[in-house]
Amino acid sequence: MNMDHQVRLSAFHWLAEQVRIHGDVLPRELLAQGFEFEGHRVPLVGPQGIFKPRVIPMVPLSITTTPKGPYDDSFGYDGFLLYRYRGTDPQHRDNAGLRAAFFQRTPLIYFHGIVPGKYLAVWPVFIVGDDPEHLTFKVALEDPAYVQETWDREDGGVLMADPAVDFRRAYLTREVRSRLHQRGFRERVLHAYREQCAFCRLRHRDLLEAAHIIPDGEPEGEPVVKNGISLCKLHHAAFDKYFLGVRPDGVIEVRRDILDEEDGPMLLHGLKELHGKRIYAPRSERLRPDPDFLDWRYQRFMKAI
């Protein structure tokens, strides 16, 4: 196995461990620090979106989309990611590096900026198309198990063009698109609420979730901050099960049968004491819960009483 292969597989293993510890949304400073490989520091991101650490001779290690960045990266109708060239010169060394990844079928890492400083980590991805006319590369996600098992085969194994491979990659890439929406919603909502529960102000990030006011299965249930509330796991579950509701003016109401129930200190301090209190809302008015959305949800809470 050559040096390039070793570094990439080490990067994949390192990322898997970081995701196990931190979740799949990782801070940029962690990615910029990277890991040690045979005495070399290997960062995973750099100042530019197409990044190659010094230890790798030719083909980039990662590509990055930054939130509100200068490039219009998007998903195409076929489900694959369209990644913009750097600049407008198809022969720029970064673009040439991704083109080499395309021809050599080299796996890369993709970091999608969720909010400033935080990225969803996705790997391995492959460049599966090059469109100089529109200055874009087509990017597809692959199953890590297939890559490790077949990368060193002379024929490229499942990495060669094959309808079944294309179908699998399109499916996996669409799954990533769904994850991007979910993680993006969570990160934006938690950031707006300064990473605390809107009901009890718990600040342990690992115990916080972004609750939809109008559920995402409803036509109006868009993943926007005004349709979200930062809640701890307990209060998210209670909110979803209509143990409590929030009036359009932001005041919490606990269901009458819950108020009348006697079941120890958790029920008393965790739920019943919230009755009549106002939720903690973001400072910016544009990020606060939409009163119409709250009313939609409150009407269903009233029916559950």
Q: Is the peptide bond before 60 cis (omega within 30 degrees of 0)?
A: no
Look up tokens 């926007």; give the residue. Answer: 224
d(CA 305, CA 298): 11
Name the nearest CA neighbour of 96 among 42, 137, 56.
Answer: 137
Amino acid code (one letter) for 174:
R
How many residues belong to the chain? 305
pLDDT at 158: 40
Mean pLDDT of 171-183: 76
Domain boundaries, the chain: 3-189, 199-304
pLDDT at 156: 42
Q: How far, in whole angstroms, is CA 104 from its chain's centroid?
A: 28
- Over residues 223-262, the pLDDT tens digits come to 899 999 999 999 999 999 999 999 999 999 999 999 998 8
Facing residues of 208 across strands? 232
Please say if the pLDDT value at position 166 is more than 80: no
Name the nearest CA neighbour of 65 among 14, 133, 139, 8.
Answer: 139
Residue 241 φ/ψ, nearest 5 degrees: -95, 10
Higher-confidence position of 161 and 280: 280
d(CA 130, CA 243): 53
| CB contact at 8 A, 290 and 227 | yes
